[in-house]
Structures are given as C-alpha cells and as structure tokens.
Amino acid sequence: MGRRSRSPKGFKDVNGILLLNKPLGISSNKALQAVRNIFKANKAGHTGSLDPLATGMLPVCFGEATKYSGYLLDSSKSYRAICRLGVTTTTGDAEGDVVSEKPVNVSTESLDQAIAKFIGKIQQTPPMYSAVKHKGERLYNLARQGIEVERKSREIEIFKLEVIAFDNDQLELDIHCSKGTYIRTLAEDIGNDLGCGAYLTSLVRTAVQPFWDAKTFTLDELRTISDGEDQQLSDCLLPIESALTDWPLVELTPDMSFYILQGQAVQVPKSPTQGLVRLVDETRGFIGLGQIQSDGRVAPKRMMRDI
C-alpha cells in the first residue's frame, strides 16, 4: 500500500474507500497525498501504483479501510492501452529514449495470432524500470544508473486481451489481467512477437476488482466538492465492505459477534465450509473478515474497530 505520513494539525479520522481517477503526470503517492489533504484524513493509502504516464482508477483506502487494502492489491485489474508498433524504447513507454525502429508489416490475421499467444497463464519478466527489488535495490534505481540485471520471470494471467482498434502502427487493446502484470512489458512482448517491436504510448486503468462499473472522482472534482459541506465529500466514499463483496456473507447474532470480537471462533449455522467470509452483525453491520476453520467454525481474520 502507498506510504502514509504523520497527520498535520486539523486532520481527522476518515473511514471508507475513494475511487480516484489519477491524473496524468504525477505519481500515485503524490495523488494519494493530494487526496489525503483534501479529506484532511489521518490515515490513507493507495492500493496499487500507476505510473506517472498512466491514468485511471486508483482506490484510496482511508482509516479502517487500510486494514483491507491488501485484498485490493491482490485483485485483478482492467486497462485500456494504446501501443505504437515499429518502435522500441529504453523504458517500454513514451518516457524512454528510442532504441530501434522497424517497418510495420502486420496483417489483421498475424495480429490475431500474436494476441492469442498471450491469453491465459503466461510467464512475464518484470521490466528494469519497475519497483521490483534486486538485492534490496529497486530495479528502476539500477536502470537509471545504466545497470541491467537478470530478472526472474513470474506467472501472470491474462483473462481478456481484445483488439479495440488497429491502424497502421497504432494498436489499442482492452485488457483484464491478474495482479503483477506489467502492461508495458505486454506491449513490448506483443511487438517482439510481431517482429517489429512496440512501446506503450497511453494507459488507462478502467477497473479494479470488484469495482467494475463504479464512479471515479478527479482531483479537481474533489477540490470543488470540498468547498461545500463535509457531508458532500463523505458521500464520495464507498463503504469499507464494498472492497470485499467477492467473499460470502455470514450473518452473526450479537452473541456470536461478542465472542468473535474477543478473538474466539464460533459455530455459525449454514456458513460456508472453507475460505474467507464477510462478517455482518445483525445490529452493527460489517465487523470484519472471518476465516472458516477445519472444524467448520468461523474465526476472526481481520476485524474492524468501532467507528
């Protein structure tokens, strides 16, 4: 999750999830600090960086929501990417220097064949310009010093890879992928398979699971809203449990909740037989995440404090 700093005077407890539409040209951490200042929130963190040249959905967790940010980090994402064929750069995107240029002789048929190779579970090597660490050092720091090191490939999964538009050297893609997928590298790998090379010219993150059709807010919109009532700004926040809707719901009686909140496992009739579950008290609402034990009881996994 993104870094948090000590709260300035006048900041307050804020709880919930904001879906920020990150603007072009700033880092995810700078966007996070801007949002935190707008909300005057004591505690906030983002859930998965976007490069400065990328825009789109960046979930920001406030307060108690930060306890569940890891689940958003692990979730799948969707992107709209534009690639330029026939050119490669040092960074795999428009920030880098041009390394090579080749003519583009790509037919629709050959493009479809290349795209098909990247759907499903594949191995991908992280780019040098990434936050992956090598012997304690971020790869992008080594890359800026002109140092290239061997990187281990990782298994990722491309659930969907569709061509939206293809015109000469411009290729637009709709992508749904697992966590840890580098779209810059995907663009380069497709270009290499086509024999002409490619780099990423534009990237928009369109969704983060489970927020498929949710509204996002720009920084300008939030600043305008913040000039009004505090409640108007609060209305931009989603409830914490909205990040956890992929897990089954288990309803607890007040007695069950009492023991769960004391750290004890309880027997809940008709609960799932395994995995994580959302815990909802019939009077208090969402109280946290539980884990089904081997004996069928529900144990506390990540619990809310009273807010």
CA dihedral 127, 131, 135, 136 (to 10 degrees): 170
**What pLDDT does 9 receive?**
79
Q: CATH code at 21?
A: 3.30.2350.10
What are the pLDDT digits (tens) for 180-207? 999 999 999 999 999 999 999 999 999 9
For the chain, give the percent of residues with pLDDT over 70.
Answer: 97
Per-residue pLDDT, averaged over 272-293, amounts to: 93
Co-location of 186 and 278 in the same domain: no
Co-location of 259 and 159 in the same domain: no
The verdict on residue 6 lying in a domain is no
**What pLDDT does 143 receive?**
78
Give the residue carrying structure tokens 């992008």.
140
Task: Give the range of the structural domain holding residue 271, as residue numbers without chain letter.
Answer: 247-303
Q: pLDDT confidence of 149, banded at 50, 70, 90? A: confident
Whether 51 is a known active-site residue: answer yes
Co-location of 35 and 56 in the same domain: yes
**What pLDDT does 5 receive?**
53
Mean pLDDT over each residue of the chain, to the nearest integer = 93
Co-location of 196 and 230 in the same domain: no
The verdict on residue 3 lying in a domain is no
**What pLDDT does 6 receive?**
63
Give the residue carrying structure tokens 């300008």.
220
Number of domains composing the chain:
3
Co-location of 215 and 105 in the same domain: no
Co-location of 85 and 180 in the same domain: yes
**What pLDDT does 48 receive?**
83
Residue 23 has pLDDT above 90, yes or no: yes
**What pLDDT does 2 receive?**
54
Closest CA to 233 of 67, 49, 42, 14: 14
Residue 170 has pLDDT above 90, yes or no: yes
Per-residue pLDDT, averaged over 209-224, amounts to: 96
Assess contact for 250 and 281: CB atoms under 8 A. no
Per-residue pLDDT, averaged over 245-260, amounts to: 94
Q: pLDDT confidence of 295, banded at 50, 70, 90? A: very high
The verdict on residue 280 lying in a domain is yes
What are the pLDDT digits (tens) for 58-105? 999 999 999 999 888 899 999 999 999 999 999 999 999 999 999 999
**What pLDDT does 1 receive?**
54
pTM above 0.85, yes or no: yes
Strands (E), 14-76: 16-22, 44-46, 54-62
Co-location of 51 and 144 in the same domain: no
Q: Where are the alpha helices (DSSP H) in the chain?
A: 28-39, 69-73, 108-116, 139-144, 183-194, 219-226, 230-234, 254-261
Catalytic pick among 13, 51, 281, 306 = 51
Co-location of 106 and 154 in the same domain: yes
